[in-house]
Amino acid sequence: MKKASFFAIAAIAAIALTGCTDSEAPEGDASGEASAPADLTPITVGVIPIADTAALYLGDSLGYFEEAGLDLTIETAESGAAIAPAVVSGDYQFGFSNNLSLLTANEKGLGLQSVSAAVATTGDTSADMGGIIVKGDSDISSVADLAGKTVSSNAVGNINQVVTRAAIDAAGGDSSTTEFVEVAFPDAIAAVENDQIDAAFVVEPFVTAAIEAGDKVISYAYAEFDPKLDIASYFTSNAYADANPEIVEAFQSAMQKSLEAAQSDSDAVREIIGTYTKNDAETLAKIVLPTYPTEINRDALQKLGDAAVEYGILTAAPDLDALLK
């Protein structure tokens, strides 16, 4: 990898997880604390600042949340596993997480429910929004070669680990010998380049950044697992949903409009991603955008849950009804 490319990737990684909030932050009162307009209900949503969450930012910019009576603040984190505790504690009213992490949380008794679809694979096994990358000169040429190797994800035990193991096994490798470690998406490319890990599961805009830097994708594992796979959803706690059904309904209404807008206007999505990741226009023009569905595909989620049981992430078949209320 050329030194110039390495520093370009490092710059992208350094800024991609910069904390973001609503572009029009509410003015503070005399005590310095932010306050929402009297006719709006304040909510905070925890997300990962990646292409997957573009619909939320887009809907905010289009005024859909204000139209629904909500004053939206967006906070960022590295993974859904970090967001879930903040939702349970009430620091956030809603959060974004991969669906397997939500199923795992419910198995542990956290009591979470999906309230909106968020993002799904494109189903294209030749160019998807998430994939497994290795160095361009790596002797790893197939996902089967990851047997006995070290692979990173933004969290251990999440959807990325399961679909990676499924891809390895489907290709004839033995995924039980693969070691999975946690590396945040913005740090994963450098970790691969520095030989700290053999491969990394990354999502856009980091897939394109890796390819531009000379790395290679050996598997688009989401699409290979199931062409209708929902990667993540927006969720809240059962306790919050029971106590605030009107707010949940308002959030769902705003999210449906936001997802429809994102799915229908790729140019707007690319532009909004640039406001919270600071990637350059050239990179944004090349990234593979995900699908922004308005409904979760239950069959694909069931398949994911079954695989999670097979690979020991879940101890028993998940209760999809509890998550998809």
For the chain, give every domain's residue range: 3-122+228-323, 130-225
pLDDT, tens only, 268-278: 999 999 999 87
Q: Quick one: pLDDT at residue 7?
A: 31
Q: Quick one: pLDDT at residue 29?
A: 42
Residue type at position 34: A
Q: Quick one: pLDDT at residue 45?
A: 98
Rounded-to-integer distance, Cα 191 and Cα 131, Å: 16
Among the residues of the chain, which ranges form H helices?
3-16, 54-61, 64-67, 80-89, 99-107, 159-170, 185-193, 206-212, 221-225, 238-243, 245-264, 266-277, 281-286, 298-310, 320-323
- Of 3.40.50.150, 3.40.470.10, 3.40.50.300, 3.40.190.10, the CATH number of 3-122+228-323 is 3.40.190.10
- Nearest in space to 78 (alpha carbons), one of 60, 56, 96: 96
The backbone torsions φ and ψ at residue 48, rounded to the nearest 5 degrees and listed phi first, read: -100, 130
Q: Quick one: pLDDT at residue 79?
A: 81
Rounded-to-integer distance, Cα 14 and Cα 309, Å: 35
Q: Which two tokens stand for residue 317?
A: 């078949």
Q: Quick one: pLDDT at residue 246?
A: 98
Rounded-to-integer distance, Cα 25 and Cα 32, Å: 13
Q: Return per-residue pLDDT of the chain as tens, 325 residues.
A: 333 333 333 333 333 333 333 433 334 443 344 455 669 999 999 999 999 999 999 999 999 999 999 999 999 988 887 899 999 999 999 999 999 999 999 999 999 999 999 999 999 999 999 999 999 999 999 999 999 999 999 989 999 999 999 999 999 999 999 999 999 998 999 999 999 999 999 999 999 999 999 999 999 999 999 999 999 999 999 999 999 999 999 999 999 999 999 999 999 999 999 999 878 888 899 999 999 999 999 999 999 999 999 999 999 999 999 999 8
Burial of 199 (0-12, 13-18, 19+ CB in 10 A): buried
Where does residue 69 fall: left (phi above 0), alpha (psi -120 to 50 degrees), or beta otherwise?
A: left
Please determine whether the domains at 3-122+228-323 and 130-225 fall in the same fold group of CATH: yes
Q: Quick one: pLDDT at residue 69?
A: 98
Q: Quick one: pLDDT at residue 325?
A: 86
Q: Quick one: pLDDT at residue 278?
A: 75
Domain 130-225 sits in CATH 3.40.50.150: no
For 48, 97, 151, 255, the CA distances from 154, given in Å and listed in that order, are 10, 12, 10, 25
The backbone torsions φ and ψ at residue 182, rounded to the nearest 5 degrees and listed phi first, read: -95, 120
